[in-house]
Structure 1
Amino acid sequence: MKASRRAVPDAARPGTVPTMRSTVVALTTALVSTTGLLALLAGRVARRVVTLSARVPDTTLVDVDVAAQTITLSRSADTVLPGRYGLFTTGTQSYIKLGTVLAAGRDTVTRKLLTQIDESDRLDAAAAFSGWYFADPAELHLPFEEVSVSTSLGSCPAWVFPADGGSDVWAVHIHGRGTTRAETLRAVPVFHAAGITSMLTSYRNDADAPRSRGGSSALGATEWRDVDRAIGYARRAGARRIILMGWSMGGAIALQLAAGSAHRDLIVGVILDSPVVDWRRVLTHHADLTRIPRPLTHLALDALTRPWASSLTGAGDPIPWDRLDVLARADELVAPILILHSAADDFVPPAASRALRDRRPDLVTLDEFEGARHTKLWNYDEERWTSDIRDWLSARGLTGDADAGN
């Protein structure tokens, strides 16, 4: 009797089961390793978004001519700009003012010094070009007082520049990410001339304000609460109409307040310089510039919304992208808005500002500059910047006259 021939199933062949198991284990390990690597990379990208770092030098001080009172810097898209600017330095001076461009070569730019530099001064080569211009409130030669705003984290200092004769209209000035209230000093004179009191406030994680848990930026998602307390201070001090003036991330904060402030009934106008309207657009733009793959960018942005990922991302609080997207919340806006933005702004491109104007043409006026860089519109064309704000305030009756607009 012949033995029947039957195929032996693979699973029964000697050595097959261990081979398959080892293959599955290897694939699983590779998948876990790849996923873990992606998570780490996404975490690193996300951490860069919320970490508030020290000011990074972006130009090199090449030479100072003490006799001629000129300074030569390495050439960049910023250092060659016309107008008045500042320069953060180290050495015997920490901040100096710069005037007009006197000469521009292929690699260097020479500008007039507006801060006196003496033979005894020693300045390091590493420097940071700035649009602040004013670094101290006393430089405006206007009366001001230092006040303290109580917040859930502690006291946030602020400067108040009272209007001559008092006013029931206050402008609350909101600075950008990683800077301080000194950034907004440039705007005080135009409001003071219009009879409006200015309040330049700080918020959590500023150099001179309380620190939040972890000390990370929430991109306006929590910072707006501190500014809302500043509006409350202004209300108790006699403000009956509030204008918000926001710069860069300060614009994002102003828009959060315009949509959800406890004092929304007082907000009668919003003025924005180079504002962040939609953070996802801005961060994706920066990721593209540094050649971070889009999938990794999306992973990083998603990780920032997850409380469990905080150890990877460094975020003290989850970032609510939908709430920060004012384009999606445009119907919630009720106060008129003036946006000043530059087509040459490659830090916060103006596309979202244009989109907000297109979605709410009934509220939003956009004046788009050419050539100016991020938050340097005042420096680039002070006359136009000032007249834009002055005319917009006047057209809406937003002046220091308590009876105006009533």
Structure 2
Amino acid sequence: MRTRAVLGGLVIAAACAGVAAVFARKVLTPAPLPDRGVRVVDLDTAGSAGVQRVWLSGPDTDLDGSYSFIFDVTSRLTQEHAGHARLGPVVARRRVGSQSHVAREVISVDRGSLVPGVRGRITGWWYTDPAELGYPFRKVALPLPDGVGWAWRIEPATDSVQTDASDSRPWAIHVHGRGALPEETLRGVPPFAEAGYTNLVMSYRNDPGVPSGRNGRYGLGLAEWQDVDAAIGWARAQGATSVVLVGWSMGGTIAVLAASRGTHAELVSGLVLDSPALDWPGLLRAQAKLAHLPPVIGDLGRLILSAGLVRGAIPGERATPISHLTPRVLAHATQVPTLIHASAGDTFVPWQGALDFAKARPRTVRLHPSRGEHVKLWNVDPAGWRDETAHFLEEIERTRSV
């Protein structure tokens, strides 16, 4: 009996290790196709004004706020060409059998055909092209450590596209999250442009049109920060007098690491983080739970990544040392004023990491408690997001002028 129990335990342990290895590999690997869990059920009009509504089923369809619906995506690398619609708040709900459907106002359809049966996902993007912001901009080549990337350079409202590149002013560099695209960060540009910042909305490794990361995988910020450091160096060559890094989700991890490890870190004057991933051990446990796995799988995945049993993406290393990505370690390395937009309602990246990070740096970190799902806080309260960020930039400027 004892032998059977031991053998049974070994079988269970081996099975857990196998599941954890698959989980760890998935954490580092870009998904070939973004989520397509939302389905268009119907379209109709309502009211005397004939407001067009779209009926949807699937995840995040009933969230407060206004969102992008990205649909008919055929590949992660071509999703910038997919269908895109802007949807307003929920205006009606209904039950059809066991399914819940919600209706949202269709504000605009910018690309594709929004018809019953198409599938896609609800995102916080809102803008898909910098032209929609109304500021002068141009697309630029961005030298990166492993090749050439690209970025949108967006000028302040008072400038023209022909602005002399040698003009000196503060810059903001916007860094998107894991699996997203630079478009994710466009909604964060206006408070910076209105404050006189030149904005660089950048791509980095594994994005379309950019060299892949080592082994075609993510470094969870531990590799990508080098791309952001290169972008800071490029901005410096264009005349940047200081840089605020704006990071969304994993972009927050990347921004914090670039501000503490980069060769141009002294140019960074502040950080603005939205739904940042600042506690990767806790995040892995949360992701295991979302995948309907025991939290211990997240812990085992952390050990597997840290031991290099699954190859990572950090140049010159096999391992992905998750111990470098805890709130205490990241906060200890962060020396600049930081604003964090975070929500207790974030089910994808628990906000406990942001709370612990802020607690570790109470004098320099301001936490802006918000409502909304992961990287969708702006969509619930865009004015509040903008005003809080603008106030933070004013404080940075006052500090610099003292």
Q: Aligned partners of 1:116 and 1:308: how far apart in 2?
A: 46
Amino acid at match of 1:168: R
How does 1:6-405 map onto structure 2 within 5 Å? 36-53=14-31, 54-65=33-44, 68-74=51-57, 76=59, 78-90=60-72, 94-106=83-95, 107-116=100-109, 122=115, 124-163=117-156, 164-165=158-159, 167-310=168-311, 317-370=318-371, 372-397=372-397, 405=401
Show CA shifts across 1:116-148 (max 9, x none). 499976464322111101111222222111111
Indicate how the Cα distance of structure 1 residues 117 and 378 shifts in structure 2: closer, same or farther if over 3 A, else same: closer
Match of 2:162 in 1: none
Return the offset for 1:219.
Answer: 0.8
For normalisation by structure 2, the TM-score amounts to 0.85
Bigger drift between 326-335 and 133-142 goes to 326-335
Q: Aligned partners of 2:112 and 2:311: how far apart in 1?
A: 50
The structure with the largest alpha-carbon Rg is 1
Indicate how the Cα distance of structure 1 residues 136 and 215 shifts in structure 2: closer, same or farther if over 3 A, else same: same
Indicate how the Cα distance of structure 1 residues 280 and 304 shifts in structure 2: closer, same or farther if over 3 A, else same: same
Q: Aligned partners of 1:362 and 1:104: how far apart in 2?
A: 45
Check the 8 A contact 1:202/1:227 in 2, yes or no. Answer: no
Q: Aligned partners of 1:319 and 1:388: how far apart in 2?
A: 34
Return the offset for 1:276.
Answer: 0.5
Return the offset for 1:213.
Answer: 3.0
Indicate how the Cα distance of structure 1 residues 37 and 80 shifts in structure 2: closer, same or farther if over 3 A, else same: closer
Bigger drift between 160-169 and 46-55 goes to 160-169
Indicate how the Cα distance of structure 1 residues 142 and 43 shifts in structure 2: closer, same or farther if over 3 A, else same: same
Indicate how the Cα distance of structure 1 residues 120 and 83 shifts in structure 2: closer, same or farther if over 3 A, else same: closer
Indicate how the Cα distance of structure 1 residues 366 and 125 shifts in structure 2: closer, same or farther if over 3 A, else same: same
Return the offset for 1:245.
Answer: 0.4
Q: Aligned partners of 2:20 and 2:384: how far apart in 1?
A: 42
Q: Aligned partners of 2:104 and 2:253: how far apart in 1?
A: 33
Show CA shifts across 1:285-326 (max 9, x none). 121343423443322211112334439xxxx94211122224
Indicate how the Cα distance of structure 1 residues 221 and 123 shifts in structure 2: closer, same or farther if over 3 A, else same: farther
Q: Aligned partners of 2:67 and 2:270: how far apart in 1?
A: 28
Q: What SS does the aligned partner of 1:39 have?
A: helix
For normalisation by structure 1, the TM-score amounts to 0.84
Indicate how the Cα distance of structure 1 residues 87 and 28 shifts in structure 2: closer, same or farther if over 3 A, else same: same
Q: Aligned partners of 2:112 and 2:193: how far apart in 1?
A: 38
Q: What SS does the aligned partner of 2:311 have?
A: helix
Indicate how the Cα distance of structure 1 residues 148 and 116 shifts in structure 2: closer, same or farther if over 3 A, else same: closer
| Identity among equivalent pairs (%) | 34
Amino acid at match of 1:243: V
Q: Aligned partners of 1:194 and 1:258: how far apart in 2?
A: 21
Return the offset for 1:345.
Answer: 0.7
Return the offset for 1:36.
Answer: 4.4
Bigger drift between 118-127 and 269-278 goes to 118-127
Indicate how the Cα distance of structure 1 residues 239 and 102 shifts in structure 2: closer, same or farther if over 3 A, else same: same
Indicate how the Cα distance of structure 1 residues 117 and 347 shifts in structure 2: closer, same or farther if over 3 A, else same: closer
Q: Aligned partners of 1:114 and 1:199: how far apart in 2?
A: 28
Check the 8 A contact 1:90/1:123 in 2, yes or no. Answer: no
Q: Aligned partners of 2:250 and 2:112: how far apart in 1?
A: 39
Query: Which blocks of at least 5 consecutive residues in structure 1 are unaligned?
Result: 1-22
Return the offset for 1:333.
Answer: 1.6
Indicate how the Cα distance of structure 1 residues 355 and 142 shifts in structure 2: closer, same or farther if over 3 A, else same: same
Q: Aligned partners of 2:110 and 2:15: how far apart in 1?
A: 51
Check the 8 A contact 2:286/2:298 in 1, yes or no. Answer: no
